[in-house]
Amino acid sequence: MQDESVRFKITQMIDTGSNVTLALSEDVELEAVSQQQMMLEAVDRAIADKEVKEQIKPILEALLRSQPQTVVRSYAPTTIQVSMPKRRYEKMGSPRVGERMLVEIKKAP
């Protein structure tokens, strides 16, 4: 089994006075990719003949421009919500929204 440390970004903090709840979202940076871009890349990989590519690509680009843009995100980040006593939160350095935390995730023996 593999241990994994994951970086999370604090997206929300609720302080009730005696307890603190942190909402964490996995800290991954994604580049938005359009369906059109994915289709063009697929055609580019599928057709080996450079001359055929040069003839098809402008036609395909024109057809795809007329379609609505759909942005695709290919990764669903992990989210965690943690509640703890305020004293423990303060011992961690009182992290704020936008700051990053390292969380170790592993199966207990």
* Domains of the chain by residue range: 1-29+75-109, 31-74
CB atoms closer than 10 angstroms to residue 26: 15
pLDDT along the chain (109 residues), means of 10: 76 94 85 74 85 85 76 74 95 94 84
Diameter over CA atoms, the chain? 69
Measured distance CA(95)–CA(86) in Å, rounded: 12
In CATH, what class is 1-29+75-109?
A: mainly beta
How much is the pLDDT for 54? 85
How much is the pLDDT for 32? 66
Contact 17, 87 (CB under 8 A): no
Task: Specify the pTM.
Answer: 0.55
CA 93 vs CA 13, 23, 43, 63: distances in Å: 14, 16, 51, 54
CA 5 vs CA 53, 85, 87, 88, 93: distances in Å: 44, 23, 24, 20, 19
How much is the pLDDT for 71? 62
Does residue 98 come out as left (phi exceeding 0), alpha (psi in the -120 to 50 range) or beta?
Answer: left
- What Rg value do the Cα atoms of the chain yield, rounded? 23
How much is the pLDDT for 15? 95
